[in-house]
Amino acid sequence: MGNGNVIPIILNANFFFERAVRSLDRFQYDKALKNFRKAAEYEPDNPVNHCNVAGIFSEMGNYEASNEILTHVLENIDSSLTECHFYMANNYANMDNFEEAERSLVKYLEEDLNGDFLMESEELMELLNYELDRPAPLHRIRSREGVVEHDRARALLEEGKFTEAVKLLKEIVKNTPDFLAAHNNLALAYFYMGRFAKAKESIERVLDLAPGDLHALCNLAIFLQYEGDNQSLDRLLRMLEATIPFHQEHVFKLATTMGILGRHRIAYGHFRRLLKDEEVGGDAGLYHYCAAAASNSGLYTEAERCWRQVGKLDPESVVPRFYLAQLEQALKDNQPIPPVSYNYQLPFQEQLKLWKDNKGSFSDEVRSNPLIRSSFFWALRYGDSNTKLQVTQALRWIEDEEMSEVLRAIIEEQPIQEDKLQEAALFSLQRLTGKNTETEPLLGEESISPPRHKVQPEWKEDWQRIIDQTLGIMDRRYDSAQKKAAELLWKQFVGNLYPDVPFFRHVDGWCAALEYLTAKLHNRPVTYREVAQRYGVSPSMVSRYVRRIEDECDVKASMTDSFPPFTENI
């Protein structure tokens, strides 16, 4: 036989590995062990070969030998091979050494990034909890790090609590930078609040990690539209318009994005696809989205059909009745129906009108509706002066922490806000942070707000000097909202005196009285003597000027009813 017919045998790690695998297939553990050991001799720095040896020992019931090899791998070859801890936990459990099994399993769960054995770990943990009769001291599961928190953040978004969601999502992406869903939802939270620059920044992080992420691309398209970057938007839209997603979630995301961007025919096609899905096809909101896309595309017959279906699925909703009436009137007048929002709610001005008719009474559903809450943020940032004022007055009836923060922000942005808006925000905040008061009319001229002068006086320098001096001494001891309250109280006092405003000779005395009343309005402990010493005047002067301001502004009633204490450091 010539040498050309001889196939040389190359003895290396792969050769013995393949022989070991064939032996395992035949359940020949001794031969498999022998060959895996030879593979480890050829490649001593390859942890996989050693783990295979440990696995064979475990199959043969030699758990101690298996753990010795796994310990050698972690200590001398590759400490990042966290699955070794899982293997060791199983070995200890088989030896009935449940304490050590628990220690190894906890170490695996807290250090392993991928979670390849997460399901098996849950089963083993259940066994250990039973055997040890106590829960394991597990502080985190690294492979699921941020998942529980992210679910909570999503719930906050759905509840319209955008500020809380942002805080939580920022913490998640800080601890888990590659958590794409958290980045996307952070961008949405910023967007709902009208903070476009921060929203786009979050999306760009997602696309750096995953350039083809459909959620991020859709969000980016919306942000580009608001930026007015039509050239970049057109390129992105050509790609999105040619995309036919398979997953239900992606279809919905693309449909809503096309609707927001004005590609209503494309949006309509995607929404129609979703209506054929038995899982979501009976949702009233989805029929409204389809109706909106159809109406905005001029397909009024289809829009009417969809809104009638909304009425059947959600008979208590006023939304389908409102839009059907709008559609009927437009067709009667032979005019196109105005653009329809995809949000399954009445248009914002209609909501304000409804709340006014109800004398400011908000249902729990309205309080928790994220779309309505988002519209508040948008109106306060981009609405005209009248809309901002109406929304500020409306916020007093949504009793939660986030609305208090929004009102504080309005008060603190004094360089760019009107006095009337600041006063409305201050009064709304005082109502939210204190006791319940009687229901006041929400909108219109009869709305309750701090009394204002009927004629706007030309503001004089000596009047302003009292404000400036008081705020200078109050600085660092009072927050910005409380200082603003002092300023508004003084302006109210002067306005009520106008046009018979006297010359204020004892400036320090008036400043002391103004601080004293501000402190009392916010339930801060203060005495006439304390304030008098701070301003270098007599307690009797402070008392006299305080009574003068009280007489003009009815501050005593305010202190008992309308001016409950602020909560500091919200």
Among 450, 470, 480, 553, which residue's Cα sits nearest to residue 514?
Answer: 470
Q: Are residues 163 and 136 in the same domain?
A: no
Q: Are the C-beta atoms of 220 and 207 separated by less than 8 Å?
A: yes
Give the three-class secondary structure for 517: helix
pLDDT value, residue 68: 93
The residues, ordered by sequence, that sit 6+ positions from 515 with a Cβ below 8 Å of its Cβ are 470, 473, 474, 486, 526, 531, 534, 535
With respect to residue 205, please indicate whether it lies within any of the assigned structural domains. Answer: yes
pTM, 2 dp:
0.46
Do 40 and 170 belong together in one domain? no
Q: Is the dihedral of CA 12, 14, 15, 21 positive or negative?
A: positive
Helices (DSSP H) in 133-283: which residue ranges?
147-158, 162-175, 180-192, 196-209, 214-227, 230-241, 248-260, 264-275
Determine how many CB atoms are found less than 10 A away from the CB of residue 61. 11
Give the DSSP letter string of 407-433.
HHHHHH-GGGS-HHHHHHHHHHHHHHT
439 belongs to a structural domain: no
Task: Based on the fold, state whether residues 153 and 300 are members of the same structural domain.
Answer: yes
**CATH code of the domain containing 69:** 1.25.40.10
Residue 341 lies in a domain: no
Pair (302, 412) in one structural domain = no
CA distance 426 to 392: 9
**191 within a domain of the structure (yes/no):** yes
Dihedral angle sign, alpha carbons of residues 400, 406, 409, 415: negative
Which residue type is seen at 393?
A: Q
Question: Using CA of residue 497, residue 502, residue 507, residue 508, what is the dihedral sign?
Answer: negative
Dihedral, CA atoms, 392, 395, 401, 405, nearest 10 degrees? -10
Query: What's the pLDDT at 415?
Result: 43
Distance in angstroms (rounded) separating the CA atoms of residues 362 and 375? 15
CA angle 229, 231, 237 (to 5 degrees): 95
Instruction: Label residue 180 left, alpha or beta by phi (over 0 means left) and psi (-120 to 50 means alpha).
Output: alpha
| Inside any domain, residue 114 | yes
The CATH number of whichever domain residue 508 belongs to comes to: 1.10.472.10
Radius of gyration of the chain, Cα coordinates, nearest whole angstrom: 35
Q: What is the pLDDT along the chain (570 residues), one digit of tens a residue?
A: 445 565 555 566 677 677 777 776 777 778 888 877 887 777 787 787 788 888 888 888 899 999 998 999 889 888 888 889 999 999 999 999 999 999 999 898 888 877 778 888 888 888 888 888 888 887 766 666 667 678 888 888 877 788 888 999 998 888 888 888 889 999 988 888 878 888 888 999 888 888 888 889 998 998 888 778 889 899 999 998 888 887 788 889 899 999 989 999 999 999 998 888 777 767 888 999 999 999 999 999 999 999 999 999 988 887 888 889 888 888 888 888 888 888 877 665 556 555 555 544 554 544 555 555 655 665 666 566 666 666 666 665 555 566 666 666 655 554 444 555 566 566 555 555 553 333 333 333 222 233 343 445 677 888 888 988 998 888 878 887 788 888 888 888 888 787 778 888 788 999 999 999 988 877 787 888 889 988 998 888 888 888 888 877 755 434 432 222 221 121
Handedness of CA 146, 147, 148, 154 (dihedral sign): positive
Domain boundaries, position 97: 10-144
pLDDT at 357: 56
The reply to whether 298 and 374 lie within a common domain is no
Same domain, 117 and 188: no
Total of domains in the chain: 4
| Residues near 486 by beta carbon (within 8 Å), at least 6 away in sequence | 467, 470, 471, 474, 478, 514, 515, 517, 518
74 and 108 co-located in one domain: yes
Task: Give dist(CA 85, CA 107) in Å, integer.
Answer: 7
Of the CA atoms within 13 Å of residue 23, those in its CB half-sphere come to 17
- The answer to the question of residue 58 being in a domain is yes
Shared domain for 136 and 164, answered yes or no, is no
Q: Are residues 224 and 303 in the same domain?
A: yes
In this structure, the answer to whether residues 258 and 358 fall within a common structural domain is no
Same domain, 165 and 306: yes
DSSP 208-223: HH-TT-HHHHHHHHHH
**Residue 79 backbone zone (phi > 0: left; psi -120 to 50: alpha; other: beta):** alpha
Same domain, 34 and 127: yes
From 88, 122, 144, the end of a domain falls on: 144
CB atoms within 10 A of CB 325: 10
- Identify whether 338 is part of a domain: no
Q: How many helices (H) and strands (E) does the chain have?
A: 30, 0
Q: Which of 144, 165, 199 is the last residue of a domain?
A: 144
Angle CA 159–163–168, to nearest 5 = 90
CB within 8 Å of 568: residues ≥ 6 apart: 479
- Examine residue 373 and state whether it is found in any structural domain, yes or no: yes
Choose the final residue of a domain: 122, 144, 166: 144
